[in-house]
Structure formats: structure tokens, C-alpha cells
Amino acid sequence: MSRVSTRCLTAAARNAVGASRLMGVRWVSQTQQGGSATASRDVCDRAAADHRQLEDLFRQMRKRGSDRAALLQQFANLVVSHNDAEEHHFYNHIKPFQQGAKVSGEKAVAIEETEHTHGLMALQAVMEEKDIQSKAWEDKLTVLVLGIMKHINDEEQQIHNLARANLSAEQRARMGDEFEAGKQQRMQANMGSLDNVRKLVKERAGLLTKAMGAAKQAMASV
């Protein structure tokens, strides 16, 4: 990882730690949600069902003795495919919306896409750590967990509420179908492979400074 990437990842970890303490982040097991994906076509519900599955995978990966390598690959393929499908089939529809004086769809999307990039960087660090039973691997997993949990909270509070306030149930259902189809295509293509994660981090690194500037502007205006 470059020095710039390491600094960004460390900053993201600090922000995530602070946010998780302030918000009292609580993990919800997918089993507690009924153990299966949502039957709803609503894009917000589909995205939230994926979030619960990611949280459940985090729980399993933290357990020593679990098949961490297999769980990590399952997690990586889901989160990378989920995020890319969101950006193409969901976030773009949210940008024009405004809720009150302080919540702008364009600004909310800029923040979430920045968090996607930080998440990819943290994921790459975990996947590149060879000893999956080591403390170093567990420490990198903690950085990934905190960053993703903060992102989930932000997205469900901002993006999902904007969608529900501005899109009809029918529109959200159509969007949910597109999102799910796009996600499945990406998962079949194994977007979560280490080679592809490295490629995505390299591609997005050049955009990170611009995205972070937009996110800082958005946060300053709240």
C-alpha cells in the first residue's frame, strides 16, 4: 500500500471508531432477522438485507477456529458486488433529491462513495495479510468492521430515507430489481477477488482526493 493509502486508511479507522462509539453501533445477526434474504423488492430493503448478511459474516470471521479464508472470500464478493451495484443502480437516482435545508442527495452520495473507497482499501489490507489467525489479521479486520459499520449506518439514515421520501414504492421496487440483478451478475464474475480489489483500489485512488473534498464540504454544511 502507498503512504497516501495508508494515511487515508488510518484516518478512516479513526473516524469509524469515533462514530461507532457515538452511535453505539449494534450488530444484528442475519439469523435474528429470519435467516434469509428479504422477500421485498424495495431497493432499500434489498440493500439492508445485504447489510445484515455482511454483519453476520463479520461475526463469524471474528471467531477463531472458523474458516476465515472462505468467509472472507464470501464477504469480499458480496460487499464489492453490492457496493458497485449500488453506485450504478441506486445512488445515481438519489443525487437530485433534497430533504430539508441540510440533506442533499448529491452530497450524501459523495460521502457514501468515499466510504466505499475506504472500505475497499481496508478490505485489501485484510485480504493481503497471509496469517489469518494472527493478531495483525484481526486488527485489520477490526478496521474493516468499523468502517463498514459506519457506512451502513450512514447509508441507512441518509440514502435510504431520501429514497423513501422521494421515490414511490413502485419506483423503489423497479430499482431493487435492477440492483439485485446487477449485484448477482457481479458476484458471478467474482468481483471480490484480490486481483480485482487491488485493481479497484488503484482506479479509485485517483478519485479519492476529489471525493474526500466533496465529502468534507458536505459535512461542513450539515
102-111, 151-160, 169-178: which has the minimum mean pLDDT? 102-111
pLDDT at 222: 59
Predicted TM-score (pTM) of the model is 0.77
Q: What is the pLDDT of residues 13-69, one digit of tens each?
A: 444 434 333 333 333 333 333 334 568 999 999 999 999 999 999 999 999 999 999
Distance CA 22, CA 36 (A): 30
Judging by DSSP bridges, how do beta strands 103-104 and 98-99 pair with one another? antiparallel
Q: Is 12 exposed, middle or buried (0-12, 13-18, 19+ CB in 10 A)?
A: buried
Euclidean distance between the first and final Cα of the chain, in Å?
33
- What does the block give as the cell for 88? 450504478
Please say if the pLDDT value at position 2 is more than 70. no
Helix (H) or strand (E) holding 103: strand 103-104
Q: What tens digit of pLDDT does each residue of 148-173 get?
A: 999 999 999 999 999 999 999 999 99
Taking CA atoms, 159 is separated from 17, 99, 151, 175, 199, in Å, by: 22, 11, 11, 14, 27
Packing angle between helix 3-23 and helix 135-157, nearest 10 degrees? 60
